Amino acid sequence: MSSEMNHFIHDGGFVKERSRFIVTDNLQVLPPSIQSTLSLFTKFGVVDRNSIEEMAINVAVDDLLHLLMCTFVSKTPLTKILLKQEPVPEPSNTNINGIIHVEIQKAGDNLNEEDKISIKLVVCKSKKMVCYAEAGDDFVSFLLSFLTLPLGSVLKKMGNSSSLKGCTDQLYISVQDLEEQYLKSNYHKELLVDPKLVPGFCYPNLLGIEEASYSWTGGVIFGYATDSSLISSDNSCQLEVKDPKSQYLEGKSARGFLKGPGMFIVTDNLIIRPISQVFGLSVLNQLNVPFNDIEVQSVHVGSEEAWRILIASFLGNSALTNAFLKKPKPEQEDVLLKEPIQEQEQYC
């Protein structure tokens, strides 16, 4: 076993011990240097050192959990959570067309029609919104797989030009730019910027996120290995991972998270219930949608639609409406392909 691998197995964390960093309000991680400090002061127009106050703050577990949630909806999570000076913003239904990365747009959808998932949308015509969808267990398993996705792999697919309402993209870029001297190894860096999915936990894998591979090396199961130099060729072997969900099942029925086949109702904010006329009527009643104002649309979910649903689920409570009813027109798509996304103003 290589010393680098042994170091990883026995030591936790990703950065070297006793390393110190500057972490800005939008979660940029910078090496501590005079240049970085002066750059931050210049950005904020700070010219008088007497206007700077140093504070020591005890960070509780609850603060860390709130900070994690705030990174998805705010550009200034440290101010909001640690100084408690501003309320945490609520998610809103931001238009996602400008957020989908151009590379995803260019990639297109290479899936055959039979490989895509078919669902039916119950749409309110006047409000131009999806009331709910009627879908099979394959679509619901896809939605449930959102809970298993590594955040780093999602940010990698979206690209650095993605501009979510929060600042997770800045954190990702910081790790990309961090010099090797601060991290325990390049392997640790890879775990952050390109984490792999646990095999069998994204069915169907419409998002194209790579699954992890595992090796048996020196009596230890070692995962996510992509760099063969980290593994000794003398005493290592590749492992074939058996999906624990299918331990007692065989064939297609073992895939996914649900017993199939089955039909479900999925609301616009991704509440999932077994199909029921009573529940469907209650959704229409809550939305105040009359029967003569609805239409049923049959749609297919491929890679593009899958990414739109995922991104929309980060941004607000109308994932299906944003994913299917607010697609850009062809001329808008051309603009998105030619012009990189302009990031929102960043705050340190």
* Banded model confidence at residue 274, pLDDT cuts 50, 70, 90: very high
The verdict on residue 345 lying in a domain is no
Q: Is the previous residue joined to 204 through a cis bond, with omega within 30 degrees of 0?
A: yes
* CB 305, CB 142: distance < 8 Å: no
Crossing angle of helices 186-193 and 168-177, in 10° steps, is: 160
Whether residue 263 has pLDDT greater than 70: yes
Which residues lie across from 221 on neighbouring strands? Answer: 216
* CB 257, CB 141: distance < 8 Å: yes
Running DSSP on this structure, what letter comes out for residue 90? P
CA 42 to chain centre: 33
Q: How far apart are CA 327 and CA 6, in angstroms?
A: 49
pLDDT of residue 49: 77
Whether residue 98 has pLDDT greater than 60: no
CA distances from residue 337 to 98, 162, 304 in whole angstroms, order as listed: 10, 13, 14
CA distances from residue 206 to 91, 182, 210, 307 in whole angstroms, order as listed: 25, 35, 11, 8
Q: How far apart are CA 166 and CA 77, in angstroms?
A: 8
The verdict on residue 348 lying in a domain is no
The verdict on residue 203 lying in a domain is yes
The verdict on residue 195 lying in a domain is yes
The structural domain count of the chain equals 1
Q: How far apart are CA 265 and CA 272, in angstroms?
A: 6
Running DSSP on this structure, what letter comes out for residue 181? G
Average pLDDT over residues 130-143: 94
pLDDT of residue 300: 94
The verdict on residue 346 lying in a domain is no
Q: How far apart are CA 164 and CA 341, in angstroms?
A: 11
Whether residue 286 has pLDDT greater than 90: yes
Q: Name the H helices within 11-60.
A: 34-43
Instruction: State what percent of residues in the chain have pLDDT above 70.
Output: 71
Q: How far apart are CA 67 and CA 26, in angstroms?
A: 11
Residue 343, number of CB atoms within 10 A of its CB: 12
Q: How far apart are CA 29 and CA 26, in angstroms?
A: 9
The verdict on residue 344 lying in a domain is no
pLDDT of residue 123: 97
- Which residues touch 68 (CB under 8 Å, ≥6 apart)? none
Average pLDDT over residues 32-58: 84
CA 215 to chain centre: 27
pTM tops 0.95: no
The verdict on residue 293 lying in a domain is yes
Whether residue 197 has pLDDT greater than 70: yes
* Banded model confidence at residue 276, pLDDT cuts 50, 70, 90: very high
Helix (H) or strand (E) holding 188: helix 186-193
Across 91-105, 174-188, 259-273, which has the greatest mean pLDDT?
259-273
Q: Which domain holds residue 300?
A: 3-338
